[in-house]
Amino acid sequence: MEFYLFMHFGPNTFTDLEWGKGTEHEEVFNPTELDCRQWCRIARAAGAKGIIITAKHHDGFCLWPSKYSTHTVRESKWKNGKGDVLKELSSACREYGLKFGVYLSPWDRNHPQYGTPGYNEVFVNMMKEIISNYGPLFEFWWDGANGEGPNGRKQIYDWKLFEKTMRQYSPNTVIFSDIGPDIRWVGNENGIAGDPNWNLLDTAGFMRGLGAPPNDTLNHGNINGRNWIPAECDVSIRPGWFYHHQEDSLVKTPAQLFQLYQKSVGGGASLLLNVPPDRRGKISYHDSASLVGFRKLREKSFSKALMRSQFGKAHMNSNQYKLSSPIAVDINCVIMRESLDSGQNIISFSIDFFNQNQKVKTLQGKTVGHRRIFSFPSIRCNKLVLTIDAQKKKTFLTEIAAYKIDETNIEK
C-alpha cells in the first residue's frame, strides 16, 4: 500500500497531553465539529490509501461505546453519549474508497481489571467488538507499551491469545507490532527505513515491547531472517502525535514529507504518516495544505520518466539492465522494483552512467525490495547500465525508471 495515514485522537487532544493518565473525566472529549468525511477527503487528496485510528490509547478511553469499559464516548457529553468515532470513520472510509485500520493499545491506565488475568479477556473482547462492528480492517496496530494501571500493577499480556483471536476472527487483517507477525516497527519514529532494508526478521527468543529485537535490527531486518515481516515507518506530521495548537507552525513542509517518502517508501517500506485531528474533530488547514503540497510534489517529480523499461521473468537469467535516451539528459533519481515472487534477493547493485559511450560515473546501492528510490547529485548521460552485483538467488527487476527531480528535494 506504500502510504497511509495514522490518526491520534482522544482525550489527549483536549488536555494537551501525549500520554493520558486514565483519570481524565469523559466530558473532556467533546469534538464540536467531528467530520470523518473531511479526514477521508484530505487523505484521498494526499494520495493515502487508508487510515488507522487510535481506537484506545494508553489512557483507556474508547472512541466507540464498548461494552467492556465505562471510559468511552458513551460516558462523554459528545452527541449526548450517542456518538461513535469508529462507526463514522469506517463508514467514511468505505464511502471514499479508503481502507480502515485500528490501533488498540493493550496498556490501559483506566480499566479496573488491568493488572489481573481477567484483563486479557477484556482486551480480546474489545478486539472482537471492533472486528464485528467496524470491519473489514486492513491493519490492526498493537503498541508494546506496558505501564501501571489504576491499581498500580502491570499487565502480563497474553499475546498468543491476542494473536489467535485476530487470526480466528479477522484472518485477512495485517497485524503490526515490533515483531509482527505481519509487519514490524522500523525501530524509530522518524519515518526512516534502514539501508539495507530486508523484509525478513528473526523473532525467535524475542518478545513485544521491552523484549523486542534491538532497534538497529528492526531498522534493517535480517538478511537471512526466517519470517517475512516488512517494515512500516511511523512518523508524525507534527512534533507530537496528538494535536496541540502550539505546534501549528511546526507542521512538516511538503519538501520534508517528500524526503521522508524517499527514506521510507523509497527504502522498500511503507509510510504511516500521523495527521492528528484538532479539537473540532477536523484536520487543520496547516496539515491539509502540507499534505496536498506533498501529493503535488510527488506527482511533479515522478510524472515523466526520462528513461524507463519494464522487465519480465525472462530477464531472471541476466543481471544487467540497460536504459537509454536518444539525447543526453540530466538525471538524479532512479526508481527500481524487485520481483518478490520468490522473496527479496538483491543484496547489492551498481549503476554505470554513460554519455556518448563514455562512462562518467558509477554509483552503488544495497537492497531494492518493493520499491527503491535511489537519488544522487545530477549526472548528464544518455545511457545507464544497472548491474545486480550480489543476490541470494536469481531474481530480476520488474521496472527501472530515471527522473530529474528538484535538487533541493534529493534525499539527504
Tell me the pLDDT tens digit for each residue of 336-371.
999 999 999 999 999 999 999 999 999 999 999 999
Q: What is the pLDDT averaged over residues 53-66?
A: 98
Q: What is the pLDDT averaged over residues 268-276?
A: 98
Confidence of residue 408 (pLDDT cuts 50, 70, 90): confident
Residue among 298, 291, 297 at smallest CA distance from 38: 291
CA 140/CA 130 separation, integer angstroms:
10
CA 159/CA 144 separation, integer angstroms:
10
Q: Which residue has the higher pLDDT, 408 or 160?
A: 160
CATH code 3.20.20.80 for 3-302:
yes
Cell of 278: 484538532
397-403/307-310 β-pairing: antiparallel
User: What is the DSSP code (8-state) at residue 318?
Assistant: -
DSSP secondary structure letters along 381-404: EEEEEEEEEEESS---EEEEEEE-
DSSP secondary structure letters along 27-67: GG---TT--HHHHHHHHHHHT--EEEEEEE-TT--BSS--T
* 93-116 core/surface letters (b: 16 or more CB in 10 A; e: else): beebebbbbbbbbbbbbbbbbbbb
* 241-274 core/surface letters (b: 16 or more CB in 10 A; e: else): bbbbeebeeebbebeebbbbbbbbbbbbbbbbbb
For the chain, how many helices (H) and strands (E)?
Answer: 8, 16
Residues of the chain with CATH 2.60.120.260: 307-409
Residue among 267, 180, 172 at smallest CA distance from 227: 180
pLDDT for position 410 = 77
Question: What is the CATH number assigned to the segment(s) 307-409?
Answer: 2.60.120.260
pLDDT surpassing 90 at residue 80:
yes
pLDDT surpassing 70 at residue 411:
no
* 353-386 core/surface letters (b: 16 or more CB in 10 A; e: else): bbeeeeeeeebebbbbbbbbbbbbeebebbbbbb
Confidence of residue 412 (pLDDT cuts 50, 70, 90): low
pLDDT surpassing 80 at residue 201:
yes
CA 192/CA 185 separation, integer angstroms:
11
Reported residue count of the chain is: 412
Residue type, 282: K
Confidence of residue 218 (pLDDT cuts 50, 70, 90): very high
DSSP secondary structure letters along 216-278: HHHHH--TT-SEE--EEEEEESSSSSS--GGGGGGPPPHHHHHHHHHHTTTBTSEEEEE----
pLDDT for position 407 = 86
Query: What three-state secondary structure class fits 327?
Result: strand
Q: What is the pLDDT averaged over residues 252-257?
A: 97
Cα four-point dihedral sign 39, 44, 45, 46 = positive
Query: What three-state secondary structure class fits 411?
Result: coil
Q: How far is CA 222 from the centre of its chain?
A: 20
C-alpha separations of 74 from 5, 25, 41, 128, 361 in Å: 26, 12, 27, 19, 64
Q: What is the pLDDT averaged over residues 99-115?
A: 97
CA 7/CA 238 separation, integer angstroms:
12
pLDDT for position 279 = 98
Residue among 115, 106, 104 at smallest CA distance from 150: 115
Q: How big is the chain by its Cα radius of gyration, in Å?
A: 23
Read off the pLDDT of residues 221-232 as tens digits, 9 standing for 90 and up.
Answer: 999 999 999 999
Residues of the chain with CATH 3.20.20.80: 3-302
Average of per-residue pLDDT values in the chain: 96
174-177/397-403 β-pairing: unpaired
Read off the pLDDT of residues 286-339 as tens digits, 9 standing for 90 and up.
Answer: 999 999 999 999 999 999 999 999 999 888 888 999 999 999 999 999 999 999
CA 287/CA 248 separation, integer angstroms:
8
pLDDT surpassing 70 at residue 75:
yes
Residue listed under C-alpha cell 523484549: 211
Read off the pLDDT of residues 131-167 as tens digits, 9 standing for 90 and up.
Answer: 999 999 999 999 888 989 999 999 999 999 999 999 9
Cell of 131: 472486528
> Exposed (0-12), middle (13-18) or buried (19+): which is 309, by Cβ within 10 Å?
middle
Q: What is the pLDDT averaged over residues 5-19?
A: 97
Confidence of residue 405 (pLDDT cuts 50, 70, 90): very high
